[in-house]
Amino acid sequence: MNVSGTCTAEMPYGYQPRFKGLYIATELIIAVLAIIGNFLVCLAVTRNKKLRTVTNYFLVSLAVADILVGLVAIPCAVLTDLGQPRHNLPLCLVMLSMLIVLTQSSILSMLAVAAERYMAILLPFQYQRVMSPGNARLALLLTWGLAAISGSVPLMDPQKLPADSDYCIFTCVVDMAYMVYFNFFCSFLMPLVAMFIIYGHIFLTVRHQIRRIAVARGTTEDMTTVGSGSTGTEDTGSSAAGATTGVGADMRTAEGTGHLKKCKIEVRAVEEPGIGSLIETETTTVFMKPGLRIASAGSTSSSSGPADPRPGESTRAKSNIRTCQELRKATSLFLVLFLFMVCWMPIHLINCILLLCPQCEVPMSITLAAILLSHANSALNPILYAYRMRSFRHTLVGMWRGMWSVRAKCQ
């Protein structure tokens, strides 16, 4: 832990927190929540085969790191905050390095997720070849290996303790130059900037594509309206076209936010079986592109009816729905990244102050609050998954209902 003061035989002035019991109790609550929540995330992936995707492999890696934060890092942090262990520098260094390793693993896992989302959305044809399960496992091994190496640097070159000091105190044992220049600038800030650039490029590119589709859709709907009026055909395809004319007219007046709302409607069309066929037919008509000669797989007309006059619509609609799904997933993962930055930035800024401004004093209450916030990130990620990702939420709800049904049968 970081603290202003000198390393002496006694605990530095102001090091012992006034609300020591409250601080330790809060740390233990965060640890329990982190363990339970992230364990449920891992369990959901093992129970639901649909969740076993490359993206979720990296999220499971992030969840494992968060579980270890609750099991190992937080207890070690509480002990070192109390100056323990005494007279044992090697054990002290191992305990202090544990949280650094887990932090590095988390941010490298999120960087791998960002790269995977970039491939899935902007380079879909190369995705299956590059992001295979074998390559995903290799990337996981690489992230944990790099995290272990970068987080173990303090073990290789520990800062020498003063002769009159026998307490395990962060600022007395770990070199703050390493924490600021290597751990913060190189291992935290650079990957963070890279991920913001990746997600920004994804959002701008997808938004541009959605606007182009909306413009093309407007022209197509005008042609469809004229054609249906001249033939007077009343089959299911024409009914769907008529239904989507109003949708298209409304959407033509919408700007960027309106297009994102359309994406949400289309994603719900796939995930909600009760209305999936209806909305899929509508979006098929909306995103129809003339001139394509691909058989329509999503036509609602019967096989004995006339041929679909708008071939290729279903393929176009499914492609657009898939893009919207990927965009929603990228948005959720960006929120995970943003939450990670908000939780970990304060403690890194305190480290910078302690190194670059030695005469500046950081109040102990602020330091402890920053430590608690960084640890709380491990407990907040599962809540974000359950709130933003329907697949995780539905799986967790199903597991909960199944558990209660088994209890009811046993009784």
Band (pLDDT 50/70/90 cuts) for residue 348 is: very high
Instruction: Report the percent of the chain where pLDDT is more than 90.
Output: 26
Assess whether pLDDT exceeds 60 at residue 268: no
Q: In the predicted model, what is the mean pLDDT of residues 199-217?
A: 84
Q: How many CA atoms lie within 13 A of 393 on its CB side?
A: 9
Tokens of 265: 């409607």
Q: In the predicted model, what is the mean pLDDT of residues 150-160?
A: 73
Instruction: Report the percent of the chain where pLDDT is more than 70.
Output: 66
Contacts by 73-77, CB closer than 8 A, 24 or more apart: 73/98, 73/99, 73/102, 73/375, 74/27, 74/28, 74/30, 74/31, 74/34, 74/375, 75/31, 77/1, 77/27, 77/371, 77/375
Average pLDDT, the chain: 74
Domain architecture of the chain: domains with CATH: 20-194+346-410 (1.20.1070.10), 206-321 (no CATH)
H helices of 4-151, in order, are: 20-47, 54-68, 74-81, 89-122, 124-130, 133-151
Question: How confident is the model at residue 158, as a pLDDT?
Answer: 59
Question: How confident is the model at residue 225, as a pLDDT?
Answer: 62
Q: Determine which of 52-66, 148-162, 194-208, 388-402 has the lowest per-residue pLDDT on average.
A: 148-162
CA–CA distance, 169 with 2 (Å, rounded to integer): 8
Give me the phi and psi of 138, to 5 degrees please. -65, -40
The answer to pTM > 0.75 is no
Assess whether pLDDT exceeds 80 at residue 121: yes
Question: How confident is the model at residue 390, as a pLDDT?
Answer: 80
Choose between 323 and 260: higher pLDDT: 323
CA–CA distance, 10 with 26 (Å, rounded to integer): 26
Q: In the predicted model, what is the mean pLDDT of residues 348-360?
A: 91
Question: How confident is the model at residue 1, as a pLDDT?
Answer: 41
Q: What is the pLDDT of residues 163-198, one digit of tens each?
A: 545 677 777 788 889 999 999 999 999 999 999 999
